[in-house]
Amino acid sequence: MRISYKEGTTGIIAKVFALSKDADFSTMSWNVYKKGEQWEKPGGDFDEKTKVETKYAAKPDDWEDYNVTEMVKGWISEPSKNKGFILVADENPEANNTGRKYYSSENSAKDKRPQLVIDYKNSAIQFKTGPGFYQSVTLHCTRNRVTIESPKARICDIFLFDAKGKMVESFRGISAFKSSVPLHALGNGVYSIAVATEKFVVRSTVTVMR
């Protein structure tokens, strides 16, 4: 998971945990997780065992990366446990007026919104991006073309990389739920494909053999 630091106090380390309640993000606050229902602990209830830390971003617009692989694996096995993530600051209790702000998923700058990056090897994957919201991305490969379908989030950009990590093709500004890209200009080999949607980035591999 990647989040972009907007402004605030440096030196504060934010930790990511798995939420333990189905929050209504349109009505939740410091005291309630949905209308008429209070958190057991003001600020949010979460599973202490799921803690993930990272080095904080040093300056505005830098990214912080959290390895939430184990959490996501658990959610795929038991989807009912996916309540979302919560960021909890680890700050000096003696300090005053401290805090950090991050760009949210509602931010007008799409390239600053939080990202859930998933690497996988299968041709299709299903995962949850929010309470009650399943998202499926499917790749269909033919001899000279790969077709990507993302029914719930528009595809923005598609990138192809060779085995050394060098970008060999890019298709930008797509803005569609389904798109296909040609492979006829590529030689035989294994390529990495990155699909960036308006909500997340998914990576997979494509093998070209003729």
pLDDT per residue over 50-75, tens digit each? 888 877 777 788 888 888 888 888 88
Identity at 199, one-letter amino acid code: K
Domain boundary, last residue among 63, 97, 131: 97
Query: How far, in Å, CA of 62 to CA of 39, rounded?
Result: 31
**Total structural domains within the chain:** 2
pLDDT at 26: 84
Residues 73 and 15 in one domain: yes
Q: What is the dihedral of CA 155, 178, 176, 137, to 10 degrees?
A: -30
Domain boundary, last residue among 47, 70, 97: 97
Residue 129: pLDDT band with limits 50, 70, 90:
very low
Given the DSSP bridges, would you call strands 200-208 and 116-119 parallel, antiparallel or unpaired? parallel
Name the residue range of residue 171's domain.
116-208
Residue 133: pLDDT over 70: no
For the ranges 44-48, 70-74, 89-93, 110-114, which has the lowest average pLDDT? Answer: 89-93
| Signed CA dihedral, 115, 195, 25, 72: sign only | negative
DSSP H or E run through 20? none
203: domain CATH number is 2.60.40.3080
Residues 93 and 7 in one domain: yes
